Amino acid sequence: MLKNDLFTAFKTTVVFLVLCGLVFPLILVGIAQIADKPAAEGSILTQNGTVVGSSLVGQSFADPMHFQSRPSGVSNWGPNNPTLITNVSQQVAYQKQLNPSISLVPIDLVTQSGSGVDPNIASGSALLQVPRISNLTGISQDVLTRLVNQYTENPVAGVFGAPRVNVLQLNLALDNLLSPSALKSAEANATAFNAAALNATVMNTTAG
Amino acid sequence: MDVLGIVQIIVELAAVLLLVRPVGGYLVGVFFKERSRLDALFGPIERGLYWAIGVDPSEEMGVGRYVLSLLLVNGLMIVIVMLILITQGYLPLNPTAAANMPIDLAFNTAASFMTNTNWQSYAGETQVSYLSQMICITFLMFTSAATGMAVGVAFIRGFASRDQRPGFREITGIGNFYFDFVRALTRVLVPFAIIVSILLLVQGVPQTLGGPLSYHTVEGSISTLYRGPVASLESIKHLGTNGGGFFAQNSAYPFENPTPLTNVIEIVAMLIIPISLLYAFGVMTGNTKEGRILIGTLTTIFIVLLSIGLLAESSNPALSNLAVNQSSGNLEGKEVRFGTENSVMFIVSTTSTGTGSVNSMIDSYTAIGGAVPLFLLMIGSLFAGDGSGLLTVLMYVILAVFIAGLMVGRSPQYLGRKIESKEVKLTFLAFLVHPILILGFTAAGIIFATSSLLNPGSHGFTEMLYAFSSAAANNGSAFAGLSANTPFLNYTLGITMLLGRYITFPLMLLVSDSFLRKKTTPYDAGTFRTDKWIFGLILIGVIVILGALTFFPVLVLGPLGEALL
C-alpha cells in the first residue's frame, strides 16, 4: 500500500516538474521572444553598437557633469545605526559641494535604495542639478530643464508612481547634446571641478 | 504624506475587493461544483494527468490517506529538488556557472520552497542555474501553492453546509488529495500565472534563456547584467503566495518589478487567492456573510496596521538633524518608482499573506515600520498563504467562538456544530506550534548565531526574531542584513519551516474532519451568531490579545525597545 502511494507520489513529482518547471517557462520564453524581444532580453541599451546597460537598471555616475543617481548598493543598515547616519551625512556634504545653492538635500540623493541599482531619482532631484551641469557643460539652464522635463515619467493614468526621471537615459540624452569637442572640454571642466570639490570636502571633514 | 500615494493604495485595495467575488465564485466552481463550462477545455487535460499519475480522483481518502499522500508528494519533491541543487553545476542551462549547492543550503532551499516559505539563503542571480530556477524554484512555487490550496479545500469540506444544493458535488468526506491538487494547478494557478506573466512581460520583465551580459557603463566601469526566465517565476511567485525572488533583491530589483504598474499587479496577485478563498468558504457554509465578515474583519486589521506603517515610515527621526528633505519619507532601502507609500503597502500585503516578497529592505525601516510586518508574521499573517491561510483564520475563529462561549456561559457553537473539547484541544495545539518555534529558535539563534547579525543592539535582535517568525509563518520575508547562509541557520530555519507547516496541517484537518461528523443543530435565540459584525470585533480582540500576550516580551526586546530608546 505504502509502496503504491510512494510510486504515485513519484509520478506526480515527475509529471509536474516537467509541466510547471519546463513546459510553462519555456512556452513563455517563446511568447516573449515573439511578442516583445527587446523587453524579454532585458531592455538593453546600446550606443554605437556597444551595450551600455539596461534602461531598467540604474548606474552610478561619479562625473559631476552628469546627473547623479542614488548612492549605489544596498545597506540594510537599521534606522538608528551610527553607520547609516555617518553615511548619509557624508552624502549630504558631498551633494552640497556639488550643488551649493540647495539648503536641504532631497532624501533620494543621499540614501541607498532597495535594489542597489535604482534607475530613478525624483524629477525635483534632477532639476536641482541643472545649474551645476549648465556651468560645467555650457549648455543653457533652459535647455537642461527642458531635457529633464522631457525625460520625466509622470504617474500612469495620473495615479500610479511619483514623477521621476530615469538617470541613465537622461545622461545619454545629455551626452548626445554635446559635440565630441564640447564633451571633451566639459569633461576637463568636470575633472577640475571634481578635484576642487574633493579638496573642499576633505577640508570640511578636517574642520568638522 | 503624499496624497497620490494614498490614492494608489485605495485603488489597489478596491481592485482586490472587487475581484474577490468573481474569483471566489470561480474557486467554488472549480472545487465544489459538479460541472462547469470549462470542463470541455480542462477535462481532457485532467483525465490525462490522472491517468499518468495513476489515481482515481473520485475516491474518498479520509484524513489519514489525504495527509499521507500530501506528505509523500511533498517529501519526494524536497528530496528530488535537493538532488538537483547539489548537482546543478553538472547540469545544462547554467550560463551563470552556478556551483553545486552545499547540502545545508540545498536543504534550506528545498524545505523553504516546498513549504511555500521562499526564505532565501542564496543569491538567485549567481548561486542558482537557469535550470534550477525553472525545475526547482518555479516548479515548487506551483506545487507548494497547489498543496496549500488542496488542504484549504479539504478543510472547507468539513465546514460546508449539509444541504444538498443543486449543481454542487456531494460532500462525503475530506476529499481526494490528487483531485484538489491537480485542479488547483490546471484551473487556477497555471492559467492565472499565464495571464500575470504576460502582463509583466508587457511592462518589461525579462523572459529569456540568454546568459548574463558583461558591459561598460556610461562612465566606463565594468558591470554585469544578470537576467533569465524571470516573468514565468515572478507571476507564480505572487499568485502562489510564494515570494522568493529570481534576484537577491527580490521585487525591489527592476527586472522583477520594473514599473509602478508591475507593483500593483504583484500586490493584487498576492492578495487575490487567499482572500477569495475566504469568500468561497462563506459560499460553502451556505451563508456568504460568514465569509464576508471574516474578510471585513481581517481587512480592518490590515488597514490599521498599514496606517501605522505609513505614519512610521513618513520620516526617519534619526536623520532629522541633517540637512535632508524627508518629504518623500524614509527612502533608505526603498525605490523611487514605488515611493514610501507603495513600499509600505507592498510590505504589509506580503506579510498579510504568506508571500514574503519585498520591494524594499525592511531592515532599514524605522523601528515601528518594521514592527508592523513582524507583528503580522507573529499572528500568522492575517489572510496567510493560498489555502493554508484558511486554516490559520479558522483557528482564530474557533478560539474566538470558544472564548465568546465561555463569556456568555453557553456551549460554543460554530455553523450549527458544537465545539467540544477535542476540537478546542487540537486548535490550541495548532496555535501553540508557532510561538514555540519562534521563541525557542530565536533564543537559540541569539546564543549560537550572533555573528550573523548586521546591526547592533535591539535592531540586531529583531533581525533574528524576524527570521524565525518568517520561517514559522511560512512567509519568507527577511530583515536581510542577517547573514543567513550558515549551516546553523540553514538547518534551524529549514526545520522551523517544515514544522510550521506540516504539524499545523494534520491538526487542523482533524478539526475539520471532526466538524464533518457532527450533527448540526439549528440556531436558536441564545446562539452566538458568527455572521454578525459584533463577532468581527471579538475576532479582532482574540487575534490581537493572543498575539500581544504571546509576543509582547520579545517585541519589547526588539522593535519597541529600539523605538523607545
- B330 vs A107, A153, B1, B5, B326, CA distance in Å? 8, 22, 11, 14, 7
- A76 vs A59, A116, B331, B336, CA distance in Å? 19, 10, 12, 17
Is A29 part of a structural domain of the chain? yes
- Same domain membership, residue A67 and residue A22: no
List Cβ neighbours of B489 (8 Å cut-off, separation of 6 or more): B121, B445, B449, B452, B467, B482
Interface membership of B209 toward A (CB under 8 Å): yes
- From A7, A31, A162, residue closest to B198, measured CB to CB: A31
- Same domain membership, residue A7 and residue A83: no
Is A157 part of a structural domain of the chain? yes
List Cβ neighbours of B102 (8 Å cut-off, separation of 6 or more): B86
Residue A199 pLDDT: 54
Is A47 part of a structural domain of the chain? no
- pTM value is 0.96
Q: Report the amino acid identity of residue B496.
A: T
Quick one: pLDDT band at residue B369, thresholds 50, 70, 90?
A: very high
What gap in Å lies between CA B218 and CA A46, rounded to an integer?
A: 10
- Same domain membership, residue A101 and residue A10: no
Interface membership of A51 toward B (CB under 8 Å): yes
DSSP type of residue B224 = E
- Same domain membership, residue A14 and residue A65: no
Q: Report the amino acid identity of residue B303.
A: I
pLDDT, tens digit (0-9, with 9 covering 90-100), for B227-281: 999 999 999 999 999 999 999 999 999 999 999 999 999 999 999 999 999 999 9
- Same domain membership, residue A146 and residue A67: yes
- Same domain membership, residue A192 and residue A163: yes
Per-residue burial over B310-332, b = 16 or more CB atoms within 10 Å of its CB, e = otherwise: bebbbbbebbeebebbbebbbbb
- Same domain membership, residue A81 and residue A35: no
Interface membership of B356 toward A (CB under 8 Å): no
- Same domain membership, residue A86 and residue A156: yes
ipTM score for this prediction: 0.95
What gap in Å lies between CA B178 and CA B186, rounded to an integer?
A: 12
- Same domain membership, residue A89 and residue A20: no
Region label for A138, one of left (φ > 0), alpha (ψ between -120 and 50) or beta (otherwise): left
Residue B538 pLDDT: 96
- Same domain membership, residue A65 and residue A29: no
- Same domain membership, residue A86 and residue A186: yes
Domain span at residue A61 reads: 56-207
pLDDT, tens digit (0-9, with 9 covering 90-100), for B171-200: 999 999 999 999 999 999 999 999 999 999
A:B CB pairs within 8 Å: 318
Q: Report the amino acid identity of residue A12.
A: T
pLDDT, tens digit (0-9, with 9 covering 90-100), for B395-447: 999 999 999 988 888 889 999 999 999 999 999 999 999 999 999 999 999 99
Q: Do residues B507 and B489 touch, judged by C-beta distance below 8 A? A: no
Overall domain count for chain A: 2
Q: Do residues B112 and B478 touch, judged by C-beta distance below 8 A? A: no
pLDDT, tens digit (0-9, with 9 covering 90-100), for B146-157: 999 999 999 999
Is A46 part of a structural domain of the chain? no
Q: Do residues B499 and B256 touch, judged by C-beta distance below 8 A? A: no
Is A127 part of a structural domain of the chain? yes
Q: Taking a contact as any Cβ pair under 8 Å apart, which residues of chain A between 123 and 142 contact chain B?
A: none
Q: Write out chain B residues lying below 8 Å of A92, CB-based.
A: 322-324
